[in-house]
Amino acid sequence: MEIINYLKRTQSQTLAYFDLDPSVHHLTHQEGKWNIRQILCHLADAESLLYDRIRRVISEPRQVIWAFDQDLWAKHLDYQTFPLIISKQIFNSVREGIIYLAEKHYESSGGKEFIHSETGLRTLKDEFNKVAWHCENHLKQIEQALKK
């Protein structure tokens, strides 16, 4: 399945960025935006939330799932000092779980629906696709920051 390759590719790219020299963690792709360190912490947290959504939709479809305020998470969980090794481990283990569930449910249960509190009606397949797209989007931001 194409989604599995997409998830594995963005997983390996992301894990490599966790191993960057700390001297570049402060770089941003645009003034006023999150730095590399903050993006990596965000990816770990976002993956864990998306993993939870996926598991909920598989187990209890048609429920309302609430959005989260990523900026409040970054502030109150202090992404500037949160240990990257912990975020890396969270990201990797959760991504492995997402890949496993995608292999089992992407095609067979992809039409299961839920309501997102901000974006409305979505499907399980939409959420798997979001995982890969979201990660890739932030990887591009890291790449831009490293080119500066």
Q: Is the pTM of this model over 0.85?
A: yes
Instruction: Count Cα neighbours of 27 within 13 Å in the Cβ-side half-sphere.
Output: 16
The residue with greater pLDDT, 101 or 1, is: 101
| pLDDT band at residue 56 under the 50/70/90 scheme | very high
Specify the pLDDT at position 148: 81
- For the cut 90, the answer to whether the pLDDT of residue 48 exceeds it is yes
∠ Cα 47 42 31 (to 5°): 145
Structure tokens at 111: 């039409």
- For the cut 90, the answer to whether the pLDDT of residue 53 exceeds it is yes
Percentage of residues in the chain with pLDDT exceeding 70? 100
- Euclidean distance between CA atoms 62 and 70, whole angstroms: 24
- Euclidean distance between CA atoms 128 and 135, whole angstroms: 11
- For the cut 90, the answer to whether the pLDDT of residue 110 exceeds it is yes
Q: What is the mean pLDDT of the chain?
A: 97
Q: Which residue shows structure tokens 């191993």?
A: 19
Name the region of 78 (left: φ>0; alpha: ψ -120 to 50; beta: rest).
left
Query: What are the beta bridge partners of residue 114?
Result: 122
Do 63 and 15 contact (CB within 8 A), yes or no?
no
